[in-house]
Amino acid sequence: MKTELARLIRQLEDIYNGRPWYGDSLLSKLEKIGEKEAFAVPVPGVHSIAQLTAHILIWRRVLTERLKGNSGFKVELNSAEDWPSQKELQAKGWVQILAELADNQRELIELLEAENDGLLTRPFDGKYDFRFLVEGIIQHDLYHTGQIGQLQSWLKTRWNESDIITFSNMREIAQNLREAVETARPRLEAMSNKVASIKLRPEKWSVKEIIGHLVDSAANNHQRFVRAQMGATDLQPYRYAQDNWVGLQQYQSSDWHSLISLWYYYNLHLAGLISTIQPEFLENELDVWDEPATLRFVAEDYVRHLKHHLDQIFNIAYPTQGFGR
C-alpha cells in the first residue's frame, strides 16, 4: 500500500504545479518572472528569487539523491551550495534554473511513485526517517514559495532608484546613523545580560551576538570607506565570514555593557567618516558583493543593515540570523 505516500506525492504536485488551496503554485509564480526580476534585490539584504529557487532545488536534490541510495549527498547549512551567489546563478541563467527545477520535479515524483508506505518509516540517516524528510521538503517548498510571492509583490510596485536611495547626501546618511545609535543605546542598556544572551535555537544569534555582528560590520565597512577613497575598487578580498567572526570573538560571553559601548562609539566614529567622504569617489563602482555597488550605496546600505538588525532586536524581540554586510 501507499496511501500515506500517495497523499504526500499529491501535496508535492499541488505545490509545484497544481491548484493549492492558498493560491498560485510555485511554478505558476516562477513562470511570471523574467530574467531581470529573477535577479532583482528590491530590499537590501534579502535573497533574490533566483537564489530562493536554487535553495529550494538543492534541498529537493537531497531527497532525490537519498531516494537513489546516495547517502553521501549532503548540504551544509548556509554554505555556498545552500545559497548560491548571484554571480554564479546569473552565469547559469534563469531559464536553466527553471529547467533544472522541472527536471527535479519529474525525477522526484517518479522515485516516490516507485515506493510504498514502507518508505516513510525507513531511516535515511542516523536520526530521522524518510517521512521526516519528505514532509520537511513539502514545508520547505511552501515556506519559500511564500517568500517568492512577497518578492513578486515588491517588484510589482516597480521600485526604482528613488525607492532604494533614501538619503540625498553623506551628511544625511551620517545623521541618520547617529540618530539610530543614539536612540538604540538606552534601550540596549536597559536590557539585562541574561536577556541579551538568550538563544532561541543553537544556530541562531542572541542579541549580544547581533550587536557583535554589527561591530564586525562597522569594522569591515570602516576599511571600505577608507580604501575606496584611496582609489581601491576591488574590495572582494575584504569580505568576511560573519558566523566565523561572531564565533571566534566569543561575543556570547562578552561583557554586555562593554559591547554596547564599543558598538556605540565605533558608529559615532563612522558617522563622522561618512559625513566627510570625498564627493569625487561617491559614484565609483566597487566590487564589494556579488554585484558592483557605488561607494554611496555601500554607505547607505550600511545604515539600512544596522537598522534592520535593530528592528530585529526591538520589534521582533529575538533575532534571526543576520546578513553579512
**Band of residue 237 on the pLDDT scale cut at 50, 70, 90:** low
Return the pLDDT at 215.
93
Return the pLDDT at 30.
85
Under DSSP, the state recorded for 124 is S
Mean of the pLDDT values across residues 26-52?
81
Return the pLDDT at 257.
93
Least confident stretch, 167-176, 265-274, 285-294? 285-294
- Same CATH fold assignment for domains 3-161 and 166-315: yes
How many Å apart are CA 86 and CA 117, to the nearest integer?
A: 39
CB atoms within 10 A of CB 299: 24
How many Å apart are CA 270 and CA 261, to the nearest integer?
A: 14
**CB 281, CB 181: distance < 8 Å:** no
Least confident stretch, 17-31, 229-243, 301-315? 229-243
Mean of the pLDDT values across residues 306-317?
76
Instruction: List pLDDT tens digits, range 124-163.
Output: 777 788 888 889 898 998 888 888 888 877 776 544 443 3
% of residues, the chain, pLDDT over 90: 19
Task: Look at residue 2 and tell me whether its pLDDT is greater than 50.
Answer: yes
How many Å apart are CA 237 and CA 286, to the nearest integer?
A: 12
Query: Fold for domain 166-315?
Result: Four Helix Bundle (Hemerythrin (Met), subunit A) (1.20.120)
3-state secondary structure of 230: coil
Query: Fold for domain 3-161?
Result: Four Helix Bundle (Hemerythrin (Met), subunit A) (1.20.120)
Return the pLDDT at 315.
60
Single out the residue of 32, 6, 16, 5 nearest to residue 141, CA to CA: 16
Name the residue with cell 509545484.
16
First-to-last alpha carbon distance for the chain, in angstroms, is 51
Task: Look at residue 316 and tell me whether its pLDDT is greater than 90.
Answer: no
What pairs with residue 197 in β-bridges? Answer: none
Return the pLDDT at 322.
42
Question: What are the φ and ψ backbone dihedral angles of 33, each rounded to 5 degrees?
Answer: -105, 130
**Band of residue 212 on the pLDDT scale cut at 50, 70, 90:** very high
Domain-wise residue ranges, the chain: 3-161, 166-315
| Amino acid, single-letter form, for residue 137 | I
